[in-house]
Structure 1
Amino acid sequence: MLIYYLGLLLLQGKLSKSLKMILKVEDQKKLGRDEEAAFGRFSAAAEVAADRAIRTAAECLGPRCDEKCGSRAQWLAYCHSHNITSRLTSYRLNRFNNLFENAAAVLYHKAHVVDFMIDNNCTHSNLKLKSIVADLKDKRIVAIVWAIALFNTIVTQPYWQLINSSLPYGAFPSYAKSLDQTLARLARDGIRDPQDVQAVFQDYAVEDGDTVDFLFSHSTEFYFQENF
């Protein structure tokens, strides 16, 4: 089982390195809520704005939400009244793929969350909830959220499904090699056309659904140009 989790550490390490690179860029300009004086008392933690937007949305609207600042019950009521299924999951830092899964969910729910917050659907709004809207209205932040969600579809979700499958231990090395080659190719060549994207493991590819369909059908050109 160790080799499976070494793969997880590899992916987490690459994510950490990428986020540090983004932080260097963000140090030169303010994004989302950081541009608004209303959120001046919020601590400027060493956290990428896109990561912050994903985490805050999941903490306030997902399972195990922030009891003081969250609005899970009203969010679910809003989703039910609009025939929407909430895709947000619990945000726990010790759970692999948490950031990636919720990136896809936040991207899918972007318009829903904004409507929920600004159209009097949420009756006990607070600064933490309002900060979600401020971040999701910034296209630069959403572009990074889109990139993380894309990586979820290509790499992390297929890998998560692989390690939770009944794949024999002896068959894993070929998948590990494929993963390593895919990461090297993405680092070298990037992605020329998101419509041509394929999962690293085709037999464990993410099934089409609301979040995957949305990923490739809404403002793809803008997000793609911003990131690649």
Structure 2
Amino acid sequence: MTGQRPKRCEMNHFFCNLHVLIGAATYCDKAMKQLEEVWREKYGKLGVEGLREFQDKTGQYSWKHTDSATQRLIRTVSDAVAPGGDQKSGCIGHFATYRSMHSVSSCQVVPFRANRFNVMFKCAAGTYYHHRHISQMFSDGYVKAGNKLLRAVQADVACRPLLAGARALGILHKHITEPYWEWIENDKLHIIEGVTPQVQQLQSLLTEWSDDATPLLSRDIPALFKLDDNTYVPVKKDSVFDALYQDVDSEVQTLTKQALEVCCSALTVLLERRFIDQLHGKYSIPDNVSDQTKEETSGMPKSNKRGENDSGYWAYVKQIKPSIGPMAAEGSVMYRCNDTAQWLDGLSDDHLNKVMRKARTERRNWMNRYKERQMATEKQKEELMKQQAKEQENKSKRKSDQLREWLEKINEHGGECKSAEDVDVFVQNLKTKTKQLSGLKAHINFCRETYRFDSEIAPLMKFSRMGKQLTVEELTSNLKLIIETIKAGGLKPVNEKDQDVSIASSSLPELTEEQQEEMTDMISRIKANFSKEAIGAS
């Protein structure tokens, strides 16, 4: 016994290998945040940051969160459309109906709550997969962006740099984080002999991709994670995978490559810190590890996911089971509210048996009736959404017709005014006071519908004050001030980047060669800092 005491004091110490996924999200978010500063310098504000309602008095984005803008997009999309997301401000049910109408089988985004491992990467892939669905749903009028959450999603999902960031994280999900999870949980993997060589190979590949991520832009990159039986964990090439590589233009491809390179640089730091024993320590050469240690660790769990599952389920229960089916939810409510348990307890054995026998016999009938009711409800929702889309189309047509009418009236008397002198000529061409009032109102209405104005300019757009109609002279003065404000750049057209939700299909500002070189240099410095950090961690 004395000779065995030192042996009993020894312990093989390993970290949970699934927590690497949490660290990967943290490091990639840090990398994206730095890259986005470069993008803002070259392309301007990203997505929702350009909307006036999300800015403070100085014009700066007012939501001071520490996450990257890419993660902001991913999280808001999750809140807005994922089952179990934001029930108050989201459009979860409407998006489900929209998907059903357009044959999109399932939602590929999940709520962040109670989903810890790999959730950012999975939702990034899902966000990119659904970005056209979401944009089309808003633009066609099926759903109105009636609150800040939906307007934030509408703006961010149309921002090309943020979509490229989500696509980059989605590519990492498909090629690295998703197969990594399956690899770690496989029983055919030894925690030393299986993990060590694959981690070393992954670190080598990440270092190469941080210099040039072109291989990751190919859908045919070989599987990365090998099991102890020499088979590889396959990449899941589903509809989400296809969406990451289909119909990608050169701009998004370039931005995605930049995002992949900085993320790969950041991940090298993570691996140096998390797998220091496998890369440089006592497990770095598996052949040098004793057979006794290999035997002792042969059945060792490679993660503590069980504890995480318990915590996740507790959060799920606290959220009142958002994934529960409608029929089960109804049954649960009826069972409790009708005191069914107490009623059953009061029945005699014979009566109870009859009730239970009848329930089993009629179960199929009730299921069919419920399905019929559910289908009718879904049909009503589809018809309502189609009606909303039609109303939106009619509204846009009426607005276009009204703008055309105002413009025709303006063109009859000299055309659109570009200066205060033009306003004087415009008024002089209208011979009667009635025509002058009508013409001035048409011109002010035209400006109001074609330019975005703030609270300081709003009074100039009105035709009465304190219940009294404005005179020709007052309207003329107001129109002059509006024209001068437009000339000074104080009013932006409604179809500019900060208001147009179709910018996902438009081009970014074209950079000069000098600007492109400067941008490349800034990104190289970001990657160099991560490389320096990785060396310091080894």
Q: Which residue of 1 aligns with 2:214?
A: 192
Q: 2:19 aligns with which of 5, 9, 12?
A: 9
Contact 1:104 1:149 survives alignment (8 Å): yes
| Deviant stretches of 4+, over 6 Å | none
Q: 1:210 aligns with which of 230, 239, 256?
A: 239
One-letter identity of the residue aligned with 2:224: V
User: What percent identity do the matched residue pairs reach?
Assistant: 23
RMSD across aligned C-alpha pairs, in angstroms?
2.4
Question: 5+ residue gaps in structure 2?
Answer: 1-12, 57-61, 227-231, 258-538
| 1:120-139 mapped onto 2 (5 Å cutoff) | 120-123=141-144, 125-139=146-160
**CA distance change for structure 1 residues 170 and 20 in 2, over 3 Å: closer, same or farther?**
closer
**CA distance change for structure 1 residues 73 and 180 in 2, over 3 Å: closer, same or farther?**
farther
Q: 1:142 aligns with which of 163, 166, 174?
A: 163
* CA deviation map 1:81-114 (0-9, x unaligned): 0010221222237511111111111111111001
Q: Which residue of 2 aligns with 1:79?
A: 99
Contact 1:7 1:176 survives alignment (8 Å): no
Q: 2:252 aligns with which of 214, 223, 228?
A: 223
Q: 1:118 aligns with which of 139, 155, 166?
A: 139
Number of residue pairs aligned between Structure 1 and Structure 2: 225
Matched, 1:105 2:105: no
Larger Rg: 2
* CA deviation map 1:101-136 (0-9, x unaligned): 111111111110011122221157311011112111
Q: How much has 1:220 moved relative to structure 2?
A: 6.1
Q: Which residue of 1 aligns with 2:451?
A: none
Once residues 162 and 6 of structure 1 are traced to their aligned partners in structure 2, the CA distance between those partners, rounded to angstroms, is 14
One-letter identity of the residue aligned with 2:225: F
Question: 5+ residue gaps in structure 1?
Answer: none
Once residues 189 and 224 of structure 2 are traced to their aligned partners in structure 1, the CA distance between those partners, rounded to angstroms, is 18
Q: 1:181 aligns with which of 201, 205, 217?
A: 201
**CA distance change for structure 1 residues 138 and 13 in 2, over 3 Å: closer, same or farther?**
same
Contact 2:128 2:167 survives alignment (8 Å): yes
**CA distance change for structure 1 residues 161 and 138 in 2, over 3 Å: closer, same or farther?**
same
> SS of 1:65's equivalent?
coil
Question: Bigger CA drift: 123-132 or 204-213?
Answer: 123-132
Matched, 1:201 2:225: yes
One-letter identity of the residue aligned with 1:200: L
Q: Which residue of 1 aligns with 2:36?
A: 26
Once residues 163 and 169 of structure 2 are traced to their aligned partners in structure 1, the CA distance between those partners, rounded to angstroms, is 10
Once residues 130 and 191 of structure 1 are traced to their aligned partners in structure 2, the CA distance between those partners, rounded to angstroms, is 33
Once residues 208 and 26 of structure 1 are traced to their aligned partners in structure 2, the CA distance between those partners, rounded to angstroms, is 29
Q: 1:158 aligns with which of 159, 164, 179?
A: 179
**CA distance change for structure 1 residues 173 and 12 in 2, over 3 Å: closer, same or farther?**
farther
**CA distance change for structure 1 residues 82 and 223 in 2, over 3 Å: closer, same or farther?**
same
* CA deviation map 1:155-194 (0-9, x unaligned): 10001222344x1453664245313422332233342232
One-letter identity of the residue aligned with 2:244: L
Once residues 125 and 141 of structure 1 are traced to their aligned partners in structure 2, the CA distance between those partners, rounded to angstroms, is 22
